[in-house]
Amino acid sequence: MPPHLPDLVDRIEAAAKPWCAAIHGSALGAGLEVALGCRFRVAAPDASLGLPEVTLGIVPGAGGTVRTPRLVGISVAVDLVTSGKPLCAPSAQAAGLIDAVLAGDLRAAAIAFARDALDAPLPLPASRRPVASPGPAFWPAREDALTKAAKGAIVPLRALVCLKAAVDAPFAQAMAFERETFLELRGSEQAAALRHLFFAERAAPRPPMLRDVEPLPLRNVAVIGGGTMGAGPVAALRQEGLPVTLIERDDEAVQRGLDPMRSSRPTRPISIPGH
């Protein structure tokens, strides 16, 4: 449903009054792409910025592969886009992705930054900044490295092609190519599988059938076997002040610290009471 995000970012970038993005928390994917359309970007010290779309089987779809190299250079952009790993705010500033790291009250500091910036000539918007070609040997080397690291994933290599278009083609043409690639990959089998994995991993610790279940309090705990796999839990439970009953297979295991599961003798419980 329009307006689509690339059009919104273009509108922000072309505004008569310059926008300043004040970033806290995580500006990832579309959040960062909106910030890339702003004339200035400032961030709190603990903010993180990145383009993690490749981890979901897609490429950035609103200028991430086209504006980023115009701000940080193609080498940093390739690392950022094809890995999906975010940058902390100080690293983002050092790379040129943001203009300043502001401590304290971010809103007040960002307003002060923006007012001070108006006393100097405005920087060019990202879409009008040049991007230097890395040379002919750069792309084959990166393609070889990504092919080995991708392990069958197609998206990092497709993202690399989008970044190459950002260098070789005019801005509008590179944007159209990025969007076409994004829409194509969004319906791919790999994207569907990675989206499923993303939500499944986050749902696993919170099973729906246990949503309204209150866990019972722990009063006593039993650990079977005090060998390598049992000693750690016993120590952790005792550290929390819980009474523990340790069940060993025989006296020899207790005395010598042998693996209790190797013996076939009858079990003997050892009570470790609480304090």
Q: What is the pLDDT of residues 121-153, one digit of tens each?
A: 999 999 999 999 998 899 999 999 999 888 888
Summarize pLDDT for 182-237 with one digit per residue, the tens.
999 998 999 899 999 988 888 888 888 888 888 888 888 888 887 778 888 888 88
Q: Read off the pLDDT of each residue in 28-52 and give the average, rounded to a whole number.
A: 96
180 catalytic per annotation = no
Residue 114 reports pLDDT greater than 90 = yes
Residue among 33, 214, 240, 252 flagged as catalytic: 33
Mean per-residue pLDDT of the chain: 88
Summarize pLDDT for 231-252 with one digit per residue, the tens.
888 888 888 888 998 888 765 5
Residue among 53, 178, 189, 240 flagged as catalytic: 53
Q: 147: exposed, middle or buried (C-beta count within 10 Å: 0-12, 13-18, 19+)?
A: middle
**Owner of token pair 């879409």:** 127
Q: 258: exposed, middle or buried (C-beta count within 10 Å: 0-12, 13-18, 19+)?
A: middle
Q: How confident is residue 66, by pLDDT bands cut at 50, 70 and 90? A: very high
Q: Is the Cβ–Cβ distance between 220 and 231 less than 8 Å?
A: no
201 catalytic per annotation = no
Q: Which domains does the chain possess?
A: 5-202 (3.90.226.10), 221-272 (no CATH)
Rg (CA), the chain: 27
Instruction: List the one residue out of 60, 23, 179 whose CA is nearest residue 68.
Output: 60
For residue 33, CA distances in Å to 28, 36, 61, 91 come to 8, 5, 9, 18
Greater model confidence, 100 or 251: 100
